Amino acid sequence: MPTGRRSGSFEGAACPNGRGGAVAELTIKAVALGIILSAVLCAANVYLGLMAGMTVSASIPAAVISMGILRALSRRTGVLENNMVQTIASAGESIAAGVIFTVPALVMAGLWTEFRFLPTLFIGILGGGLGVLFMIPLRRTLIVEDRDLAYPEGVACAEILRTGERGGRDEATKVFILTLASVTGGTKALELTRSALKSGNRRLRDRAVQSLVRWPDSRAVAVLMDLARSAPEEKTRILAVRGYISVADRERNERKRVKMYKDVRELVKRVDEKKLIVSKLGNVREAGAIAMLSAYMDDPEVKNEAAMAAVNLVNRVRRGSRPELRALMQKVMESTTNKGVINRAKGALRKLGR
């Protein structure tokens, strides 16, 4: 998918790079990488299209991959080379869509009894060739002259290529990188996000907090804990506490998860946050949650929720904790007026007494 500027003339083989030199466009490494990505993304789209009936755009993934690979191979790589790679790669995805949405109809209609490799290959080559031939005369009408067509995917891809060319120096690029860090996770991404918390730019600080709240694993809990204790703004402290609870919930080891809930308990002051922790404790199978739920039943703001979570917990915790569970069920019956919860606690006591 070409993403160049709309102009009345074609670009040459090279253009200034803004640093006093020229950046090549049609190079061997760009063509080779484009062909490789085209084959990979084409195969991926064929599988996805036949399984789910839909395909995904290859332009933006190809642009991102191209910037990473070509920049690693050579520092002289420019935006035009990356644009060439994503254009070639997106062609494979387009041809894949054309084939998988038409050729299976021949089998379903009974005209073919099986998928034939050579005829399918010929159909793909013919469709790609026709697309190129029709694009030559239509380019001026649809791209150069008609400015009302927005081409949102092409504009988005062009912006990504420009961002890669700028090297992450502007604010918008840094915000995008912080958003991406919350998706990828990892130690380096966490270090980058932690450093953004110390930035003098408020927008970057806010984005760093939001990224930590959405962190994909429990590595961010230490940073969120520090933030909940020392953040100067109440809003940031609240976000940090809620983010800590949410991120801790992604810890697979339940013993560590319960310990994380226990560590943050002293910072939890709001009723909704207490209810959030109580609900999480009712879904674990760790005996360490018994003492926490017992303590929360002494809190009038959440005692009913804690009693309900305790009844849920009793069927999950291993039977080696029967004395503690019996004491917990006794406390449930004393602390709540909910008849349904009381009846469930009595039933749990009967089972624990066996």
In three-state form (DSSP H/G/I as H, E/B as E, the rest C), the secondary structure along 171-226 is: HHHHHHHHHHHHHHCCHHHHHHHHHHCCCCCHHHHHHHHHHHHCCCCHHHHHHHHH
For residues 250 and 256, what is the distance between their CA atoms, to the nearest angstrom? 11
Element (H, E) at 1: none
Phi, psi of 70 (to 5 degrees): -65, -35
Model confidence band, residue 147 (pLDDT cutoffs 50, 70, 90): low
**H or E element, residue 265:** none
CB-based contacts of 268: which residues, under 8 Å, 6+ apart? 241, 274, 277
The DSSP H or E segment spanning 24 is strand 22-24
Identify the pLDDT of residue 218.
81
The pLDDT value recorded for residue 167 is 58
Instruction: Using pLDDT thresholds of 50, 70 and 90, give the confidence band for residue 4.
Output: very low
**pLDDT at residue 334 in the model:** 86
pLDDT mean over 151-166: 74
Q: How many Å apart are CA 71 and CA 66, to the nearest integer? A: 8
Whole-angstrom Cα distance, residue 324 to residue 339?
Answer: 22
Mean pLDDT of all residues belonging to the chain: 80
Name the residue ranges covered by the structural domains of the chain.
14-165, 168-250, 267-354
Residue 173: Cβ-neighbour burial (10 angstroms; 0-12, 13-18, 19+)? middle
Distance CA(160)–CA(166), nearest Å, equals 10
Segment 55-109, tens digit of pLDDT: 877 788 888 888 878 877 776 777 888 888 888 888 887 888 888 888 888 888 8
pLDDT at 126 over 80: yes
| Kind and range of the H or E run holding 23 | strand 22-24
Residue 6: the pLDDT is: 42
What SS3 class is residue 8? Answer: coil
What residue spans of the chain are helical by DSSP H?
A: 28-52, 59-73, 79-100, 103-108, 117-139, 152-166, 171-184, 187-196, 202-213, 221-230, 234-248, 254-264, 271-281, 288-296, 303-314, 322-335, 339-352
Task: Of 301, 337, 321, give the one whose Cα is nearest residue 348.
Answer: 321
| pLDDT for 94 | 83
8 confidence band (pLDDT: 50, 70, 90): very low
Within 13 A of 115's CA, how many CA atoms are on the CB side? 11
The model's pLDDT over 17-50, given as tens digits with 9 standing for 90+, comes to 444 455 677 888 888 988 998 888 888 888 888 8
pLDDT at residue 1, as a whole number: 52
- Helix 202-213 to helix 187-196 angle, to the nearest 10 degrees? 140
d(CA 210, CA 291): 32
Reply yes or no on whether the pLDDT at 7 is more than 70: no
Q: What are phi and psi of 279, to 5 degrees?
A: -65, -35
